[in-house]
Amino acid sequence: MTARHALLLICVWVSVASCVVSAKSNVKILDENNWELLLQGEWMVEFYAPWCPACRALEPVWNDFASWSDDLGINIAQIDVTTSPGLSGRFMVTALPTIYHVKDGVFRQYRGTRDRDEFIGFVEEKKWGAVEPIPGWKSPSSVQMSVVSNFFKLSMLLRNIHTQLTEEHGIPYWGSYLIFAVATIVIGAVLGLVLVFLIDCFYPAKVAPKKAGDGAARKKHDDLPQEPDEDEEDIVDEKGSESDALELEEDGEEVEEVAQEATEKDDAPESEEPAEQVAAGSSSPDTRRRRVRKAD
């Protein structure tokens, strides 16, 4: 190889390296501290992880796309979810790599082909306008997604503690799980006591005060003889009046029958007794006793 060819090869490598460095310099690195830069201007941001094969395959394409950022008037960024777990929860990243287009705080997820020309066309032709934006309740800047972000941070913290207990201190996995279980029970009990204490402070239980002499008056009232209720007396009176009316009606029917028999005897020729005696005899108790009452 001549010196000329060697010099040409070196120039080619230098140019390639400079292009790569220039492309990487156009890729902005975002994390938990500066992610709010996405809320201003136009961005294309990639969520990735160093251990992800698809992310490693996309890296040269993404760097090449970043070299067009000045021509397109757009910012190109990356977020490492391993160092910023809270952002993976805030953006609800469930697969890697995940790409978002952001325009003045409005987030849209890119689902097209992962190719440089497709990225350029998506921005230059404003194809993102046909993509439905993420709803407001799911927006990364909302309060509820901030809460989700804190949960993701807590989960990553617990994972790091578990790794430290098992790898550095040599505690078996079941021992680490047992420690977490006991800690969860203790923390839950403490939080429950604090909650009950706060409720008692702000909403104390109201107890009705007892008046003096209530117990003695109640006992004296129980010792007094109980009078029958008015409803029971009414029932007894109604029953008695009904029975009296029935007896009077039966007596009237008997008198009428005896008078009718007496009249028949007066009309008969063999009857010699006066009508007065018949009437008198009909009202005597013997006569009433001999008469047979009609069946109801």
Q: Is 11 a catalytic residue?
A: no
Pairing between β-strand 27-30 and β-strand 42-48 as defined by DSSP bridges: unpaired
Q: How far apart are CA 22 and CA 63, in angstroms?
A: 9
Output the 3-class SS for the chain.
CCHHHHHHHHHHHHHHHHHHHHHHHHEEEECCCCHHHHHCCEEEEEEECCCCHHHHHHHHHHHHHHCCHHHHCCEEEEEECCCCHHHHHHCCCCCCCEEEEEECCEEEEECCCCCHHHHHHHHHCCHHHHCCCCCHHHCCCCHHHHHHHHHHHHHHHHHHHHHHHHHHCCCCHHHHHHHHHHHHHHHHHHHHHHHHHHHHHHCCCCCCCCCCCHHHHHHHHHHCCCCCCHHHHHHHHHHHHHHHHHHHHHHHHHHHHHHHHHHHHHHCCCCCCCHHHHHHHHCCHHHHHHCCCCCC
Catalytic residue among 11, 19, 52, 201: 52
Q: Dihedral sign, CA of 47, 50, 55, 56?
A: positive
Catalytic residue among 11, 19, 55, 201: 55
Q: Is 55 a catalytic residue?
A: yes
- Residues classed as catalytic: 52, 55
